[in-house]
Structure 1
């Protein structure tokens, strides 16, 4: 399996990431094609060799026309969903912008749909994220680990004036991803764009994992500060296969597990055995429970659900499996002690983390305890981010996951105009024929508020216009 590690000791930015990918062998033409697929004004990428502190690297410059691009999150999302991109690249790009939207909404105290991206909404930053997503997806990496991220300190200038460093968006994005950070240098080392790409692509954080190195890409930032070489390194290699066990070792380990020995090696072997016998798609605890009997309950309620062997660098085994197969994944956990008022925010956080859908099922657990099963559907590439959001926003201490088959209709995005207010329309097609067209609720709600009309009236008007313009 191909694995990779990002050395973010000098920080991270969009141009550094593009430089590292091109330096590692990703064709600049592939990155350019992904940027062209956005259908925006002409954007041109240029790569050149540079040196930072005497070390060689590649600098990718993004040439954009002089236009004002102050975009909302929903317009960027629609643009990414409509673009002709590789699905893995689309997932990374959407995940990066979703994290930025959540961070900006928290920083400014506004709903995510109302977030206006200023610097990050500019064409060069959009190109950085989409180009980096396409480059990473092309490498076929099954697990990406990142080091501690140097974020820097001091102040910088933004569209709203002076901004403290690390920028609020950088801290929030990396905090939500569970990424370790350090200040270390008196300047902006990590940009919001760089933080979002790292958070969307990395499934774990730590030092260089054990691997057989095959290539290294070195990307350079625009500055050459005296404190350290302004370089981002992407180390790509093959995972080191574990040593094969002999039959005797297998019997001994199985016997020890049967007698309850709780050594790290035994747990890992048990997880391997579960995988080989067809149970490898279930991971984690069956659910969650606190109280004096919770440990006993977990031990006896799910005897066939083995804890995954968490490699300290590459993340849970199920992440690797999901990334290999590329199939959609459903993650589930039972929760019996979360304040019910927090569920709407928790479900919203899961969607922000990259989930395709998230929903609750009321259940009755043993001893008559009312609870909920939270189900999350996500792309394989988003498993790590979704698990992190589940842990951060609920009280679960474990979860299970399994791959599914999914049939999705072709989708297109358009707009209708209701008295001067644009309302998005999601169009579903089967074999090229329109079978459904639904209006975007948030757009309709905003139009209803602006026009002073009941929401149901605006929804009906927009639906009627959609039916006329996009008949079935």
Structure 2
């Protein structure tokens, strides 16, 4: 099934107002965004935007608010209550609340207290940025969002808490909480510059996956930062498009290691342990190592986040001194499990779906094996019968 993708390219920085500008440049529905913001009942809000450039890059910037609001300063609890009590659409409310809760959690961890005193984040701009950005993505009907690595910036900046290193501690905590990517070699841009703000990072880490999608780019939007910096364009890009013909996932890692001094029995045992530990697939390949020694390469695919656990298992259970880790992407057809009735009983079959049509069916081996043992009949006969019955599900 083709999905609608958005990819945030944040090499020039990221903040809430920059994301909002990029969404407007993409064609987000300004009336819908204003409608959602005014449903918060914090005063009359009508966002205004301007067209501008940063180092020759044209984009949209957010103008300062001119409207009279009920208050200029809020706490996290007040922000959350405002959103909970508002008639926002359910999707916008859910994502906005999650963004604020992640931001609150990061601040609580940094300050070591449940009671967090807000300074810059307590301004009305924060809730406008969060709800505005979530509403903008909603209006564009985005199915999945992705984000590039975030530039760390460098130096120090003055804040309500005093002089603070860049990136801010709350920003680092958000990145750590979400296992997101940080581009650490960004100190060549400018001295003492904050490239990523807590609000921008909270939105990116809450809404987006930090991986590189394979997509057809159809539209691009550029959101302007507030500064025209000498060394690089202070803009955030959002690319909008569609997935390729099948769904694509990037949330996998490939771990590999070469073994030349273990028996086949031990290799088989390691494969069993790997499957028991949550890897998706394991295989071995015959190879030749130095001095023409025949050896085995163990390869396994696993969900992102299991790398340390699986590497530790391989270190303990094999003779290896090193394990290679690679991020991978793969095409995945949609799949569905369905039960079919046969003369021997129910069997689960896996449906392979491409472009919304069932193009192949596969009887589940374990079900067929169980029936073959229970009924004392050849396994291949059960599989042939199950295949014949399940072919009726083909489109």
> Same fold, TM exceeding 0.5?
yes
Per the alignment, residue 452 of structure 1 pairs with: none
Q: Distance in 2 between matches of 1:232 and 1:42?
A: 28
CA RMSD in angstroms comes to 3.4
Residue pair 1:156, 1:162 contacting (<8 A) in 2 also: yes
Per the alignment, residue 9 of structure 2 pairs with: 7
Per the alignment, residue 109 of structure 1 pairs with: 112
1:194 aligns with 2:211: no
Per the alignment, residue 75 of structure 1 pairs with: 78
Q: Distance in 2 between matches of 1:235 and 1:317?
A: 24
| Deviates most, 156-165 or 58-67 | 58-67
Q: Distance in 1 between matches of 2:64 and 2:174?
A: 24
User: What SS does the corresponding residue of 1:19 show, helix, strand or coil?
Assistant: helix
Give CA deviations for 1:118-166 in whole Å, capped at 9, x if unaligned. 2112111210111001111222222111000013121222222222211
Match of 1:205 among 210, 216, 225: 210
1:312 aligns with 2:329: yes
| Deviates most, 53-62 or 67-76 | 67-76
Give CA deviations for 1:258-300 in whole Å, capped at 9, x if unaligned. xx9x9xxx969xxxxxxxxxxxxxx98xx9xx99xx99xxxxx
Residue pair 2:44, 2:69 contacting (<8 A) in 1 also: no
For residue 33 of structure 1, report the CA deviation from its aligned partner. Answer: 1.4
Q: Distance in 2 between matches of 1:205 and 1:230?
A: 21
Equivalence map 1:75-224=2 (5 Å) = 75-111=78-114, 114-183=115-184, 184=186, 185=189, 186=191, 187-202=193-208, 204-207=209-212, 209-224=213-228
Give CA deviations for 1:343-382 in whole Å, capped at 9, x if unaligned. xxxxxxxxxxxxxxxxxxxxxxxxxxxxxxxxxxxxxxxx
Q: Distance in 2 between matches of 1:224 and 1:131?
A: 24
1:36 aligns with 2:29: no
Give CA deviations for 1:229-273 in whole Å, capped at 9, x if unaligned. 111111111110149xxxxxxxxxxxxxxxx9x9xxx969xxxxx
User: What SS does the corresponding residue of 1:198 show, helix, strand or coil?
Assistant: helix
For residue 214 of structure 1, report the CA deviation from its aligned partner. Answer: 1.5
Give CA deviations for 1:46-71 in whole Å, capped at 9, x if unaligned. 11111111111111224054876442
TM (normalized to structure 1)?
0.50
Aligned residues: 262
Per the alignment, residue 371 of structure 2 pairs with: none
Q: Distance in 1 between matches of 2:19 and 2:108?
A: 25
User: What SS does the corresponding residue of 1:205 show, helix, strand or coil?
Assistant: coil
Q: Distance in 1 between matches of 2:110 and 2:100?
A: 15
User: What SS does the corresponding residue of 1:44 show, helix, strand or coil?
Assistant: coil
Equivalence map 1:152-301=2 (5 Å) = 152-183=153-184, 184=186, 185=189, 186=191, 187-202=193-208, 204-207=209-212, 209-242=213-246
Name structure 2 gaps, 5 residues minimum.
248-270, 275-279, 283-301, 315-326, 337-395
Higher percent of residues as strand: 2
For residue 221 of structure 1, report the CA deviation from its aligned partner. Answer: 0.5
Residue pair 1:18, 1:60 contacting (<8 A) in 2 also: yes
Q: 1:161 to 1:220 in 2, by over 3 A?
A: same
Q: 1:106 to 1:190 in 2, by over 3 A?
A: same
